[in-house]
Structure 1
Amino acid sequence: MLSALGVDATDEAVYRTLLDQPGWAVAGIAGHLAVTEAQVRTALDRLTELRLLRPKFSDSSVLRPVGLDVGVQILLARREEDVRRAQGELAAGQAAALEILEAQSAAAAGHRYEELPSIEQVQDRLERLARTCTRQLSSFHPGGAQPAAQLEASRPLDAELLARGVAMRTVYQDSVRNDQETLRYARWLTESGGRVRTAPVLPIRMVLFDDTAALLPVDPANTAAGAVQFSGAGVIAALRALHTAVWEQAVPFGVGPERESTGEELTGQERQLLRLLGAGLTDEGAARQLGIGVRTARRMMASLMQRLGARSRFEAGRLAERRGWLA
């Protein structure tokens, strides 16, 4: 019963025994409680420290227990003092942490462009920016299927953001709809309160935190090369506008990017493939842009040529433009 006030079971048992039998010696208490005499002596020391045992007025060498009502008040006052001390330490810690964060924010304000050359630095910065994000986190994830390890590493941060009420707008490429790992993660994200959409092509990998900072890769073709943090108001506004424009054209997760409602027999991914090949990209380059395999891109093009009745890619492009598919 007294455990909530900081007294363990053995100490309480010794205390209550002395309340009932104040004249018992160590050996009698140990036999009654079926514990060792050493345990009883240790309990007597702790009870004395807690002021539940006091020397008798008539003989200071003999300890007497205070009454249970007085003992509870003593323990409660001690507990309240512990809580006040802990609150004071917490307040001091919070003040120190706030001072550190303010100093970092002031330093960051003077550096609107900062390179993070290692993956570890990028991960640390992602965590730091995520913990200070309060309103919205917007991101692009090009490259098709996302690595399973990367998805699992993102889950704790994403869960924390959503639990704090941060709005999340995530855009993947349409090709992730063929990857079970990424699909499962997107499903979890939407069920947890985030919003997910897909687009045929994404301009660059990007994570945008509120209207304060953005992380972009140093080399879009090699994410292992590190990232760059931007914090200038003009750059952030431009990136926010870019994300909004892509988001509005993207397809919500849960709605398949199948044939569009206009009656055209063409998906957004197929439209982008025609545009990319028409712009002079190779099959490999177009596949990379779409986040799909080269064989998949070639199968898509063969299907488009068959549907158009074209005998060459050049003719397919001309017929697609005539139908308005590339408008």
Structure 2
Amino acid sequence: MLQALGLTDTAAAVYRTMLDHPGDGVDQLAAACGLPPTRVHEALDELARLLLVRASSEHPGQMRAVDPEIGLADMVARQEAELAARQAELAASRAAVTQMVARRAESRATNGERLLGMDAIHARLDQLARATRSEILSVQPGVQRAEDLEASRPADTEVFERGITMRTLYQDVARNHPHLEVYGRWLLSQGGEVRTAPTIPQRVVIFDGTNALVPIDPADNRKGALHVTEPGILQALIDFFEQAWGTAIPLGATSSEDPESGLTQTERELLRLLATGLTDDVAGQRLGIAGRTVRRHMASIMERLGAASRFEAGIRAAQKGWL
């Protein structure tokens, strides 16, 4: 699927024909592809921009197709670089939101308050939950401890009894931990909604769109939290939640595999993360899984692709439209 690499159908057809018939000129390519010569010229211009054809030394005035092991590999590398740059932009945006939250919390005591320690956090969660009138949105990355879940059960029960809507977003890794699976299904039984995704935004709990708690340190939520009420920051947090929620899978779903590729959401996200240049360990941290689990997933993907290396797997995955 060369189209997955950015080629038009016409350019892809001309490129394949040139590979099969390296000595053909424009008229012969046009006849073989069933295209007028002008369309072939346009396709050659496109292939030249993508560095997939070069001037022929053997046939002056003609173009020759670059070997796909070189040309397509270079295209994949360029797309990986572009994807890495986009990921860096998104990471910078997330960092900017986090920094904005921190600055507002420190500069406006009424609109952002530091809560230090789990007791202070739980007390404020209880206070905000009791004041909620419509909806609570919650993002819970990683694996929560069983005791923390049990500590939140009374407040969650009180919220459901008052008819409050609760939407909770976990990482896919939660499905592999019995205590998280049990608690998620309890939320469902109470009328809540629970979804999971391979990677999700930072931890946050949003009450009625007017109050939110976010961790001071996203890597360790037990250090403390920021209580945010500034509308601009709240809207950014809500937007992040809705984007992640829209692509997440309901907890009760029987399968999250792509019917065409057979990839799970986690495997597809892993391919995307590794394509940006992340190491196994960093990609595993984003997914909430160990580095050895990353390597096991990649071994399975490479076997399905019939690839002998990760580089080859990347090319074949791109050709199949998996990236």
Which band: TM-score by shorter chain? 0.5 to 0.7
The 8 Å contact of residues 257 and 268 in structure 1, kept in 2 or not, is answered as no
Once the two structures are TM-superposed, the CA of residue 185 in structure 1 deviates from its matched residue by 0.5
Give % identity: 47
Once the two structures are TM-superposed, the CA of residue 110 in structure 1 deviates from its matched residue by 6.5
The answer to whether the aligner puts 1:129 opposite 2:140 as a matched pair is no
Find the counterpart in structure 1 of residue 171 from structure 2. Answer: 173
The 8 Å contact of residues 112 and 229 in structure 1, kept in 2 or not, is answered as yes
- Among candidates 312, 316, 321, match of residue 319 of structure 1: 316
- Among candidates 257, 281, 284, match of residue 284 of structure 1: 281
Relative to the length of structure 1, the TM-score reads: 0.64
Residue by residue, what CA displacement relative to the aligned partner does 1:76-103 show, whole Å, maximum 9, x if unpaired?
Answer: xxxxxxxxxxxxxxxxxxxxxxxxxxxx
Once the two structures are TM-superposed, the CA of residue 264 in structure 1 deviates from its matched residue by 2.2
The 8 Å contact of residues 174 and 257 in structure 1, kept in 2 or not, is answered as no
The 8 Å contact of residues 201 and 241 in structure 2, kept in 1 or not, is answered as no
Find the counterpart in structure 2 of residue 119 from structure 1. Answer: 118
Relative to the length of structure 2, the TM-score reads: 0.64
CA distance in 2, matches of 1:126, 1:280: 38
> Which one has the largest radius of gyration?
1
**Number of residues paired by the alignment?**
216
- Among candidates 231, 245, 248, match of residue 233 of structure 1: 231
Find the counterpart in structure 1 of residue 304 from structure 2. Answer: 307
Higher mean alpha-carbon deviation, 166-175 vs 119-128, is at 119-128
CA distance in 2, matches of 1:306, 1:260: 17
Find the counterpart in structure 2 of residue 88 from structure 1. Answer: none
- Among candidates 237, 257, 260, match of residue 258 of structure 2: 260
Residue by residue, what CA displacement relative to the aligned partner does 1:49-85 show, whole Å, maximum 9, x if unpaired?
Answer: xxxxxxxxxxxxxxxxxxxxxxxxxxxxxxxxxxxxx
Map 1:50-89; keep pairs closer than 5 Å: none
The 8 Å contact of residues 200 and 290 in structure 1, kept in 2 or not, is answered as yes
The 8 Å contact of residues 214 and 230 in structure 1, kept in 2 or not, is answered as yes
Q: Secondary structure at the match of 1:193?
A: coil
Once the two structures are TM-superposed, the CA of residue 205 in structure 1 deviates from its matched residue by 0.6
Residue type of the partner of 1:289?
A: R
Find the counterpart in structure 1 of residue 206 from structure 2. Answer: 208
Q: Secondary structure at the match of 1:203?
A: coil
The answer to whether the aligner puts 1:298 opposite 2:305 as a matched pair is no
Residue type of the partner of 1:172?
A: Y
The 8 Å contact of residues 111 and 227 in structure 2, kept in 1 or not, is answered as yes
Once the two structures are TM-superposed, the CA of residue 260 in structure 1 deviates from its matched residue by 2.3
CA distance in 2, matches of 1:315, 1:115: 49
Higher mean alpha-carbon deviation, 159-168 vs 277-286, is at 277-286
Find the counterpart in structure 2 of residue 196 from structure 1. Answer: 194
- Among candidates 163, 181, 190, match of residue 183 of structure 1: 181
Find the counterpart in structure 2 of residue 249 from structure 1. Answer: 247
Residue type of the partner of 1:205?
A: R
Once the two structures are TM-superposed, the CA of residue 257 in structure 1 deviates from its matched residue by 4.3
Structure 1 spans left out of the alignment, 5+ residues = 1-108
Q: Secondary structure at the match of 1:221?
A: coil
Once the two structures are TM-superposed, the CA of residue 224 in structure 1 deviates from its matched residue by 1.9
Residue type of the partner of 1:117?
A: L
Q: Secondary structure at the match of 1:264?
A: coil
Once the two structures are TM-superposed, the CA of residue 157 in structure 1 deviates from its matched residue by 0.8
Once the two structures are TM-superposed, the CA of residue 135 in structure 1 deviates from its matched residue by 0.4
Structure 2 spans left out of the alignment, 5+ residues = 1-107
Once the two structures are TM-superposed, the CA of residue 117 in structure 1 deviates from its matched residue by 2.2
The 8 Å contact of residues 216 and 227 in structure 1, kept in 2 or not, is answered as yes
Runs of 4+ displaced beyond 2 Å: none
Residue type of the partner of 1:298?
A: R
Once the two structures are TM-superposed, the CA of residue 258 in structure 1 deviates from its matched residue by 2.8
CA distance in 1, matches of 2:203, 2:266: 18
The 8 Å contact of residues 207 and 214 in structure 1, kept in 2 or not, is answered as yes
Once the two structures are TM-superposed, the CA of residue 212 in structure 1 deviates from its matched residue by 0.8
Residue by residue, what CA displacement relative to the aligned partner does 1:8-29 show, whole Å, maximum 9, x if unpaired?
Answer: xxxxxxxxxxxxxxxxxxxxxx
Residue type of the partner of 2:317?
A: A
CA distance in 1, matches of 2:313, 2:223: 39
Once the two structures are TM-superposed, the CA of residue 305 in structure 1 deviates from its matched residue by 0.9
Once the two structures are TM-superposed, the CA of residue 272 in structure 1 deviates from its matched residue by 0.9
Larger RCO (CA within 8 A; separation ≥ 6): 2
Q: Secondary structure at the match of 2:199?
A: coil
Find the counterpart in structure 2 of residue 154 from structure 1. Answer: 152
